Structure 1
Amino acid sequence: MGSGVLLGTGVGGLPGVPQGSCWLLSADAEPVRLGPGDVVFLPHGKGHILADSPRAPVATPVCGPDGPEPHDLYASDSVDRSGAGGPVTVLFCGAYQLDPSRAHPVLLSLPHLIHLPAQPGRRAELASAVKLLAAELETPGLGTDAAVPALLDTLLLYILRIWFDERPLREDHTTGGVAALNDPPVTAALHAIHRDPAGSWTVAKLAAEAGLSRAPFAERFARLVGQPPLAYLIWWRMTTAARLLRTSNAPLRSVAAQVGYTSEFAFAHTFKHVHGTPPGSYRRKG
């Protein structure tokens, strides 16, 4: 399982709120200084080290692919115990565990690290989400177990939204999930598939959703998304089916119908082709 790691440090000295500064070190990137209010997202869950100096020798990564459980969030602190009275750094580190075979193309096309430094004028909702998380961890109450995963999801949404809005258009994002989301016709087709995976979609119908003729749409979709429209439709249907199998007790015929299959046999055949195991076995392994 791969993982995505979220880090938040210092948002203003409130009790329980991340504060201080540190350095994020990884093998394939320059050191990144994290200050009060900064938020970092490592979409691919690469191992990293948090240290008090870009040159500090640290033996064990603080967070990495083998860290927290899905939706886990915790506060950690780094204290100067040398007796010199150095500063204290408090941060949050949360993680999602994701199956790489079911990762959305948008996630696959993200850089290995997204760093959103605190700065005047940046959307206040990001800091607000961190403060709300801090409050739940500092003073747990009725419903905290439900609030923390929801707030962590919200924080991830804000990170991606801000990164998409502020990201400069670069050549390395002319294809892939990020480029597709910047293209209104392709985005319209993606929304149609996501909204109604059971729909009787054809390339022509998706092209109509995009406002393009069939051939130009098919070429544009394949170039930006990385696969033809109907291949993406099958992938999304089987990804949706996998989620339904793991999160509900609906019979297979009902799951098949929800993703556009009137034949349970045809659904099972396609599911096994995509996931490598029949739907019944997939559910039991979950």
Structure 2
Amino acid sequence: MDILTEALASMRTGSPASCRTVGRAPWGLRLPPVAGAGFHVVLHGTCWLVPPGGVAPIPLGPGDVVFVRDGASVVLADQPSTPALDPATSETVHGGSPVGSLVVGGDGPPTSLLCGNYHLDRGRPHPLVQRLPEIIHLPARHGRHPELSSTVTLLGAELDNPRIGSDGIMQALIDSLLLYILRAWLDDQPADAARGWAAALRDTAVAPALDAIHRDPAAPWTVESLAGSSGLSRAAFARRFSTLVGEPPMAYLTRWRMTTAAQLLRESDVPLTKVAARTGYGSEFAFAKAFKREFGLAPGGYRQQTRVA
């Protein structure tokens, strides 16, 4: 199973929003916080990203990509010292395109960026996303992350020369960008990392267990059965799983069952009895009790509330 794709799909609550921003020096833009995760792609030129909390500014060049895990407010500017304006003071033009257009600054050298956000449910983030760094900077380097670089190049080409089909292509590329960003970050983690999801997905004992949980969350898994052919004792496997994933196997199993159930309730009309069966509960009553313990709402109430929202 593709755990990265499933983890993100379980959190997605809508299509990404994006805007092409052209800044001409001197320029500075203070982007407001968003409900999800932010992204910034430098298409042409250079600029600086100033993170919150006094973190050192990050220089950005053509092809660089930045991912802001919790959608925190950041500043983009030609220089870190340039005063930053709120984008509400500038005009954003959509012109019928799903990608807006924003021009700020003076009459100096231009920098072109694609900025936006992915709508992710921050209420119950998947631990793979939750344990990412607050800000991921992926510099453009020759031969490094070719798929991500190709996606950035294609995004720039569609924005520079929109043609028939560009709207659909842009949306698909922006959707793909999120997966390429996180795959690139995971690939960059040291092969000998002692813990974390990059290590978990490579581990010969933990990765098959995660795959089994995602492949069949309804199965009557136990620590012993998940340990399976790992060659580890029950206790050793449980310790290794907890160290790498950040929680014990049975806690992760329950989390994924509830995440799967919530997604089914939000996105389908599957009857509660079938939702219960697909997530490993022998009765609708047992499922409803477990679901309410996790979400504070009965499954039917959750379905109604999320459909209204």
- TM-score, with structure 2 as normaliser: 0.77
Q: State the Cα distance separating 1:271 from its structure 2 match.
A: 0.7
User: Match for residue 37 of structure 2?
Assistant: 4
User: Match for residue 177 of structure 2?
Assistant: 155
Structure 1 CA distance for aligned equivalents of residues 171 and 291 of structure 2: 29
Q: State the Cα distance separating 1:73 from its structure 2 match.
A: 7.1
Q: Deviations over 1:24-65 (max 9, x none)?
A: 112232111111111111112111011110111114379xxx
| SS of the residue 2:56 aligns to | strand
| SS of the residue 2:116 aligns to | strand
CA RMSD of aligned residues (A): 2.5
Provide closer, same or farther for how the CA distance between residues 161 and 205 of structure 1 changes in structure 2, counting only shifts above 3 A: same
Structure 2 CA distance for aligned equivalents of residues 140 and 275 of structure 1: 45
Provide closer, same or farther for how the CA distance between residues 44 and 184 of structure 1 changes in structure 2, counting only shifts above 3 A: farther
1:50 aligns with one of 76, 79, 95: 76
Q: Is the 8 A contact 2:199 2:244 kept in 1?
A: yes
| SS of the residue 1:184 aligns to | coil
2:135 aligns with one of 85, 109, 113: 113
User: Match for residue 74 of structure 1?
Assistant: 99
Structure 2 CA distance for aligned equivalents of residues 43 and 197 of structure 1: 27
User: Match for residue 26 of structure 1?
Assistant: 51
Does the alignment pair 1:268 with 2:301? no
Provide closer, same or farther for how the CA distance between residues 279 and 210 of structure 1 changes in structure 2, counting only shifts above 3 A: farther
Q: Is the 8 A contact 2:41 2:66 kept in 1?
A: yes
| SS of the residue 1:36 aligns to | coil
Alignment of 1:243-258 (within 5 A): 243-258=263-278
Structure 2 CA distance for aligned equivalents of residues 43 and 122 of structure 1: 22
Structure 2 CA distance for aligned equivalents of residues 106 and 61 of structure 1: 31
Residues 273-282 or 91-100, more deviating: 91-100
Q: State the Cα distance separating 1:262 from its structure 2 match.
A: 2.2
| Higher RCO (Cα < 8 Å, 6 or more apart) | 2
Q: Is the 8 A contact 1:207 1:213 kept in 2?
A: yes
Structure 2 CA distance for aligned equivalents of residues 272 and 233 of structure 1: 17
Q: Is the 8 A contact 2:42 2:63 kept in 1?
A: yes
Structure 2 CA distance for aligned equivalents of residues 224 and 265 of structure 1: 33
Q: State the Cα distance separating 1:257 from its structure 2 match.
A: 1.2
Which one-letter code corresponds to 1:281 in the other structure?
Answer: G
Structure 2 CA distance for aligned equivalents of residues 148 and 165 of structure 1: 25
Q: Is the 8 A contact 1:176 1:226 kept in 2?
A: yes
Which one-letter code corresponds to 2:69 in the other structure?
Answer: P
Alignment of 1:92-103 (within 5 A): 92-103=114-125
Q: Is the 8 A contact 1:22 1:50 kept in 2?
A: yes
Q: State the Cα distance separating 1:107 from its structure 2 match.
A: 1.1
Q: Is the 8 A contact 2:189 2:198 kept in 1?
A: no
Q: Is the 8 A contact 2:52 2:72 kept in 1?
A: no
Alignment of 1:175-254 (within 5 A): 175-208=195-228, 210-254=230-274
Q: Deviations over 1:242-276 (max 9, x none)?
A: 11111111111111111112201101111111111
Structure 1 CA distance for aligned equivalents of residues 65 and 41 of structure 2: 4
Q: State the Cα distance separating 1:108 from its structure 2 match.
A: 1.2
Structure 1 CA distance for aligned equivalents of residues 163 and 301 of structure 2: 38
Q: State the Cα distance separating 1:240 from its structure 2 match.
A: 0.7
Structure 2 CA distance for aligned equivalents of residues 123 and 97 of structure 1: 25
Provide closer, same or farther for how the CA distance between residues 260 and 135 of structure 1 changes in structure 2, counting only shifts above 3 A: farther
2:162 aligns with one of 119, 139, 144: 139
2:149 aligns with one of 103, 122, 127: 127
Structure 2 CA distance for aligned equivalents of residues 140 and 255 of structure 1: 43
Residues 104-113 or 208-217, more deviating: 208-217
Provide closer, same or farther for how the CA distance between residues 125 and 101 of structure 1 changes in structure 2, counting only shifts above 3 A: same
Which one-letter code corresponds to 2:110 in the other structure?
Answer: V
Q: Which runs of 5+ in 2 are unaligned?
A: 1-33, 89-96
Structure 2 CA distance for aligned equivalents of residues 278 and 143 of structure 1: 43
| SS of the residue 1:115 aligns to | strand
Structure 2 CA distance for aligned equivalents of residues 116 and 5 of structure 1: 14
Percent sequence identity over matched residues?
A: 51
Structure 2 CA distance for aligned equivalents of residues 165 and 73 of structure 1: 31
